[in-house]
Amino acid sequence: MMGTNMAASKKNMAAKIRLNGLPRKLVDDGLLKEEEAINALEASRQEKVSFTSYLVSHKMLSANQIAMEASNEFGLPVFDLDAIDPETIPRDIVDEKLIKKHHALPLYKRGNRLFVGFSDPTNLAAIDDIKFQTGINTEAVLIEEDKLSTMIEKLLEEQENSMDSMMDGDLEDLEDLDFADPEAEQNKDDGNSDVDDTPVVRFINKILLDAIKKGASDIHFEPYEKSYRVRLRIDGVLDEVARPPLKMSNKMSARIKVMSRMDTAERRVPQDGRIKLKISKNKAIDFRVNTCPTLFGEKIVLRILDPSSASLGIDALGYEPEQKELYMSALANPYGMILVTGPTGSGKTVSLYTGLNILNTVDTNISTAEDPVEINLEGINQVNVNEKVGLTFETALRAFLRQDPDIIMVGEIRDLQTAEIAVKAAQTGHMVMSTLHTNDAPLTLARLVNMGVPPFNIASAVSLIIAQRLARRLCASCKTVVDIPRAALIEEGFTEEQVDAKPEIYKAVGCDHCSDGFKGRVGIYQVMPISDEIGRIIMDNGTSIDVADQAKKDGVDDLRQSAIKKVIAGVTSLEEINRVTKD
């Protein structure tokens, strides 16, 4: 009776599995019996290995036999894997999960075609998956199974070793990313783990990890009429990194919205969200997410917020010695206002939080109001401004003043009400730190006057203004001295004394250690204390030009002169400071 049941079971299995492609060819040519092929196909699925891998590992057929059969049937030549240099294999193009899942090996790229090695070229699902993930036309190349397995194992082992060293060893598991989303955790508990293995999810995860690895500050997902592109902002400059299929635009937008807890059905208005990616037990990276409806879909920008950037220390930011001394002196005051100004992305938040880190002691009460909170710091009371529910900078500041504060940080002074409360707080024994959007330090004072703050209050409350920009650092491995005529240097703003010292001016070249000759960024600062003379100019309704002239007399370098000092020191190039500072 038992034998009858087993026979019936095998018969049912045979009925369920229909042979086609390579398995059918092997049966038709008499290399396998049909029952053997069906059993092998079922067993390979259970063991989650390829059909050809199963045949070779169980010594049912040799790798060479299978390759010859596939070559004759499908008209593909057998590629000799021994003839390729493993170092030339584009291992970063195809996701590691796809390589494992489909037993496929990217071999080389020619133009917009990617040639991928298979031992079974009929695996059309694998070809489609790889084409989707890479955005590149994919063509199958036939390789003997034993050589293919050996090479894949070798490359995956190398990738695993390189992944372990990524992020200085902090990144524990790249395959199972933890986005700290309670809803996602609930889905995982419910057994809906299949969604985590879709090509869209894997593509988004790869972009996020690549952005962290490359030190990017922003990720741009941009739909257009006939294309879709992904760009990373690295050292202040955007660089295109991928062109996924346009038809996946809505799926990618939906995935990012789910991760950042937005309304996936709402595509007509901008939305804001946040993603937290845990990369180890003790470290997490936050992404601030914003969507914006465009003509051809939603553009999504992710700002990468690394809390470790706020704990670099003031020496790592690029202040000149005298500028650092002025900042530290202002921080040591028990009251007064420190303002940091500059365009979006110029490092204002890092400058403020570096100061807050210095002041963050157990005997100090620090409160911040931000829109939104970018960097979470232990020991600081941070409030996320939400104007929809009435929690504005003004209301947050009023609440702070009733909670016995020592130091108050306002993310941005946008209106007269916020400015007036901040000024009064600075005048009544509190340290206040904030930002404005102006081009330089003297213009900041004019901006406060234009808001309606009385000049006397400005002169008595503001103690220091820092204007800043971020310039790319020259790569120490490849920067090269360039000869620039004396007249050209004078025209660029160098003083006679600076030119007479015959400084070595460097230019960017580019090498394997950098991006177009640059690696990292450095701050360029104008640090202007409010001296008695500048205070009198403010109260006499002087212009920003009058303030700038007095600051120069006081020995304050403007942004251009600070940038020139960075060029003379060999930190950056003349072309780079021309990009970020203008006369």
Higher pLDDT, 539 or 186: 539
User: What is the Cβ-side half-sphere exposure of residue 134, based on CA atoms within 13 angstroms?
Assistant: 26
Greater pLDDT, 85 or 579: 579
Question: Residues 522-550: what's their mean pLDDT?
Answer: 94
> For position 196, what pLDDT does the model report?
45
pLDDT at 460: 92
Average pLDDT value for residue range 80-88: 77
Task: Show the tokens assigned to 213.
Answer: 């690895």
Check if the beta carbon of residue 370 is closer than 8 Å to that of residue 352: no
**What local confidence, expressed as pLDDT, does residue 86 receive?**
77
531 contacts: CB under 8 Å, gap ≥ 6: 550, 554
The DSSP code sequence of 470-519 is EEEEEPTTT-EEE---HHHHHHHT--HHHHHT-PPEEE----TTSBTTEE
- 474-521 pLDDT, tens digit per residue, is 999 999 999 999 999 999 989 999 999 999 999 999 888 888 899 888
Three-class secondary structure assignment of 134-154? HCCEEEEEECCHHHHHHHHHH
Cβ atoms of 424 and 462 closer than 8 Å = no
Query: Average pLDDT of 208-234?
Result: 91
d(CA 425, CA 497) in angstroms, rounded, equals 44
Inter-residue long-range contacts of 511-517, CB under 8 Å, 24+ positions, other chains counted: 511/475, 511/477, 511/478, 513/475, 513/477, 513/478, 514/475, 514/477, 514/478, 515/234, 515/235, 515/237, 515/239, 516/237, 517/474, 517/475, 517/478, 517/479, 517/573
The string of pLDDT tens digits covering residues 125-167 is 788 888 887 778 888 888 888 888 888 888 777 655 543 443 3
Q: What is the largest CA-CA distance in the chain?
A: 108
pLDDT recorded at residue 280: 67
Using an 8 Å Cβ cutoff, are 342 and 335 in contact? Answer: no
**C-beta of residue 138 within 8 angstroms of C-beta of residue 116:** yes
184 or 421: which leads in pLDDT: 421
- Burial classification of residue 525, based on how many CB atoms lie within 10 Å of its CB (0-12 exposed, 13-18 middle, 19 or more buried): buried
Tens digits of residue pLDDT in 435-472: 998 889 999 999 999 999 999 999 999 999 999 999 99
Q: Check: CB of residue 272 under 8 Å from CB of residue 238.
A: no
Task: Tell me: cis bond preceding 321? Omega within 30 of 0 counts.
Answer: no
Residue 313 Ramachandran class (φ > 0 left, ψ -120 to 50 alpha, else beta): left
Asked if the model's pLDDT at residue 563 lies above 70, the reply is yes
In this structure, what DSSP letter does residue 307 have? G
> Across the chain, what does the average pLDDT equal?
83
- Mapped onto helix, strand or coil, the DSSP state of residue 281 is coil
Sign of CA dihedral 328, 331, 337, 343: positive
Looking at residue 372, its pLDDT comes to 78
pLDDT in tens, 176-210: 566 665 444 444 444 344 444 467 888 898 899 88
pLDDT band at 15 (very low <50, low <70, confident <90, very high): very low
Rounded to the nearest 10°, the torsion over CA 390, 391, 393, 394 is 60
Minimum mean pLDDT among 264-268, 321-325, 471-475: which range?
Answer: 264-268
% of the chain at pLDDT higher than 90: 40
Q: Letter for the amino acid at 337?
A: M
CB-based contacts of 305, cutoff 8 Å, min separation 6: 285, 286, 287, 288, 374, 375
Q: What is the pTM of this model?
A: 0.64
CA dist list (Å): 256 to 204, 207, 252, 296: 8, 12, 6, 17
pLDDT of residue 566: 94
Average pLDDT over residues 350-371: 90
C-alpha–C-alpha distance, residues 310 and 342, integer Å: 18
Please report the pLDDT score of residue 281 as a whole number. 66
Residue 301 has pLDDT above 80, yes or no: yes
Q: Is 298 helix (H, G, I), strand (E, B) or coil?
A: strand
Report the 10 Å Cβ neighbour count for 184: 18
Q: How many residues does the chain have?
A: 583
Question: How crowded is residue 270: how many other Cβ atoms within 10 Å of its Cβ?
Answer: 11
Evaluate if residue 174 carries a pLDDT over 80: no
* Residue pLDDT, tens place only, 409-418: 998 898 898 8
| Residue 562: CA count within 13 A, CB half-sphere | 30
In the β-sheet with 105-110, what is the strand arrangement from edge to edge? Answer: 105-110, 113-118, 137-142
**Would the pLDDT of 171 be above 60?**
no
Looking at residue 174, the DSSP 8-state letter turns out to be S
The DSSP code for 77 is: P
Q: In this predicted structure, what is the pLDDT of residue 344? A: 83
Q: Provide the pLDDT for residue 72.
A: 79
The pLDDT of residue 230: 95
Going by pLDDT thresholds of 50, 70 and 90, the confidence category of residue 92 is low
- pLDDT confidence of 27, banded at 50, 70, 90? confident
75: helix, strand or coil: coil
Q: Read off the pLDDT of each residue in 392-396 and give the average, rounded to a whole number.
A: 89
**What residues contact 477, with CB distance under 8 A and at least 6 apart?**
511, 513, 514
Contacts of 286-293 spanning 24+ positions with Cβ under 8 A: 286/374, 286/375, 286/376, 287/208, 287/219, 287/260, 288/372, 288/374, 289/256, 289/259, 289/260, 289/262, 291/253, 291/256, 291/257, 291/262, 293/267, 293/268, 293/269
Q: pLDDT above 70 covers what percent of the chain?
A: 87
